[in-house]
Amino acid sequence: MADAAKISEAYRKRWGIEVFFLHCKTNGFNMEDLNFKNLEKVQLLMALAAVAYVFSLLNGLIKRE
């Protein structure tokens, strides 16, 4: 049972990241369609998308209160 609890906790932590990547790939940001070849540009875009994503989550939480 302890192993199942550890697996469940790890998956719960990972789920937020999986949802973020889903939104980055297909559900909104569509980053795969950009076909960047320069690694620095890809990293910068991911950083900006992550910041925008966090701000949108925070805004949703504020409006929900």
Query: Which pLDDT score, from 0 to 100, does residue 58 have?
Result: 92
Query: Which pLDDT score, from 0 to 100, does residue 22 have?
Result: 83
Residue-wise pLDDT tens digits, 11-43:
888 888 888 888 777 777 777 777 878 889 888
* Sequence letter at residue 48: L
CB 45 within 8 A of CB 36: yes
Q: What residue ranges do the domains of the chain occupy?
A: 2-64
38's torsion region: left (phi>0), alpha (psi -120 to 50) or beta? Answer: beta
| Tally of CB atoms within 10 A around 49 | 16
Q: pLDDT category, 1, cuts 50, 70, 90?
A: low
Q: pLDDT category, 55, cuts 50, 70, 90?
A: very high
10's torsion region: left (phi>0), alpha (psi -120 to 50) or beta? Answer: alpha
